[in-house]
Amino acid sequence: MRKLIARLSDDAGMNTAEYAVGTLAAVAFAGILLKVVTSGPVTAALSAVIDRALG
C-alpha cells in the first residue's frame, strides 16, 4: 500500500497539460524571436557585422 501511495503522489515529470503549455510557450517565443531577427534594424546590424568580419 505504501508503494501505491508513493507512486500516486510522485511528481517527478510533467503531465500532458504542462507539456502543452510548455510547447505553446516555446512556439510563442520562437515566433517573437523570428520577428525580432527579421526586422529591418536587426537585419542591417547583422549584415554590418558580417561585412566587417569578412571585409
Per residue in 2-52, pLDDT tens?
777 776 666 666 678 888 999 999 999 999 999 999 999 999 999 999 999
* 24 domain-assigned: yes
Distance set, CA 40 to CA 10, 18, 44, 50, 54 (Å): 49, 35, 6, 15, 21
Q: Is residue 47 part of a domain?
A: yes
Q: What is the pLDDT of residue 22?
A: 92
pLDDT for 27 equals 97
Answer yes or no: is 20 within a domain.
Answer: yes
* Residue 42 neighbours by CB under 8 Å, 6+ apart: 36
Residue 8: predicted pLDDT: 67
Domain count, the chain: 1
Domain that holds residue 44: 14-54
